Amino acid sequence: MIKLEKLSKVFETPGGGSVIAADQVSMEVPEGEICVLLGPSGCGKTTTLKMINGLIQKTSGKIWVAGCDTDEQDPVQLRRSIGYVIQQIGLFPNMTIEDNICVVPDLLGWDKTKSRRRAGELLELVNLDPGIFLKRYPKELSGGQQQRVGVIRALAADPPVLLMDEPFGAIDPINRAVIQDEFLKMQTELRKTIAFVSHDIDEAIKMADKIAIFKDGVLEQYDSPDDLLARPANDFIASFLGQDRTLKRLSLLQVQDVMFGDQVRVMARDDLEKARGLMREVGHKNIVMVGPRGRARGYLHLNDILDSTGKVEEHYQGLPATVNIRDDLRSAVSKMFRHDTTWLVCVDDEGFFKGSITQRAISHALGATYRDSDVATGAAAEAL
């Protein structure tokens, strides 16, 4: 959908020298995906983004947007077909929110009543009441509200491609998380192709289908967040991602990716003898007790019932915590630490028992990719 080929930008400096802001950047953003351009200040990510809609003239290379070579398009027409969001939001203070949202539809000559109705619908999409906000001016909105309007303004003419230049950079952390979530929810329905500039790694990991890391104008690595965190291509990327990059991967994996499914279980009316038998059979020290329809109710520990007799319901203990199978590992680990336990019962939205997850399994999942790539180094170390 967006394709860059050997894209370069050289700025002439007043002293007669030149600065290479983008150096032979080649990458492709597939349709419906979010690609985050990430890197320290002055790494060329914003320059690359602005070359896509021609705000910065490229020095050499090719750009295709939606299958068309941008060299063959009128830049003004091109920009009208690409949504654009900037960090400073850039709502026009002289226009009402309604007119701000309808800027591009008006430029395209759309029917006014149609575009005004769409403005209202878009406001509802970001939980702002059209009745209140349509006729307001930007200065009457809070920063977070303005940024929401900035995002839907880019969507007004329903462009297939969005360019976003640190769109959530100027918002306080709490609001930012809320707007990011709203935006991701919108994106699952809208499936826009998005190039997104950020300098915030956590934001990139949260938003991106793919991350492009830039340094000094060079595209250093272009990979999915998980691959990037697991296998940084060089020391710069490793240090940019941070010492705790493995922990960052926790938020990329879901509980259901790592849990042991189809676990043995007992019912309240089962005998303890049966529970002991099952535990010995599979070699576990714990067994989960489920309700009549399969909801997780409690658990038994082998050591507690070694010499006991009776029914499960007379001896079970309550579960300290359960974790949803669609939660990320980050919250699973957090729950384990909070309750000082090494395993958790995994349930679905209705509370049905789906499996269990252990600290061992998590550390194994995080370590797996390293072990693959460490085989060579490990062998080399042994040879010494």
Partner 1 sequence: MKMQILPHQERFRSRIAFGLGAILGIGLMIGERGYIGDTWRLYSEDILFLTVQHIQLVLVSSGLAILVGVPVGIMLSRPRMQRYSEAVLQVFNIGTTIPTLALLALSITLLGIGFVPAVFGLWAATLLPIVRNVFQGLRSVPDYLKEAATGMGMTPLHILRSVELPNALFVIFAGIRTAVAVNVGTVPLAFLIGGGGLGELIFTGIDLNEMQMLMAGAIPVALLSIAADWILAKAQYWLIPRGVNPLRN
Site string for partner 1, 244-283 (x = CB under 8 A): ----------------------------------------
Q: CB of 185: closest distance to partner 1 in angstroms? A: 24
Residue 139, H or E segment: none
Residue 78 in contact with partner 1, rule: CB under 8 A: yes
26, two tokens: 């080649």
- CA dist 83 and 89 (Å) reads 13
Per-residue interface string for the shown chain with partner 1, residues 95-134, x marking contact by CB under 8 A: xx------xx--x---------------------------
Could you say whether residue 68 binds partner 1 (CB under 8 A)? Answer: no
**Cα within 13 Å of Cα(35), Cβ side:** 26
State which of residues 45, 84, 133, 327 lies at the interface with partner 1 (CB under 8 A): 84
Site for partner 1 in 151-180 (CB under 8 A): 153-154, 163
Quote the CA–CA distance of 63 and 7 in Å, as a whole number. 7
Number of residues that bind partner 1 (CB under 8 A): 29
* Chosen residue from 47, 53, 147, 221 binding partner 1 by CB under 8 A: 53
Q: Is 77 in the site for partner 1 (CB under 8 A)?
A: yes
32 makes contact with partner 1 (CB under 8 A):
no
- Of 108 and 253, which has the nearer Cβ to partner 1? 108
**In the complex, minimum distance from the CB of residue 184 to partner 1, in angstroms, rounded to a whole number:** 23
Considering only 15, 93, 109, 131, the residue that binds partner 1 (CB under 8 A) is 93
Cα-Cα end-to-end distance for the chain:
50
Question: What is the distance between the alpha carbons of residues 60 and 6, in angstroms, rounded to a whole number?
Answer: 7
**By CB under 8 A, is residue 80 in contact with partner 1?**
yes
Q: Judged by CB, which is closer to partner 1: 84, or 183?
A: 84
Cα–Cα distance measured from residue 332 to residue 375, given in angstroms and rounded to the nearest whole number: 29
321 binds partner 1 per the rule CB under 8 A:
no
Does position 137 interact with partner 1 (CB under 8 A)? The reply is: yes
- Supply the minimum distance, in Å, between the C-beta of residue 153 and partner 1: 8
Q: By C-beta, is 95 or 267 nearer to partner 1? A: 95
Residue 150 near residue 168 (C-beta atoms within 8 A): no
Residue 124 region, left (φ>0) first, then alpha (ψ -120 to 50), else beta? alpha
Q: Are residues 221 and 233 in contact, defined by beta-carbon separation less than 8 angstroms? A: yes
Q: Is 57 in the site for partner 1 (CB under 8 A)?
A: no
Q: Where are the beta strands (DSSP E) in the chain?
A: 2-12, 18-29, 34-38, 60-65, 68-69, 82-85, 161-165, 193-198, 210-215, 218-223, 260-261, 265-267, 286-290, 296-301, 317-318, 322-324, 343-347, 353-358
Residues 328, 251 contacting (CB under 8 angstroms): yes
Residue numbers at the binding site for partner 1 (CB under 8 A):
53, 55, 76-81, 84, 86-96, 103-104, 107, 137-139, 153-154, 163
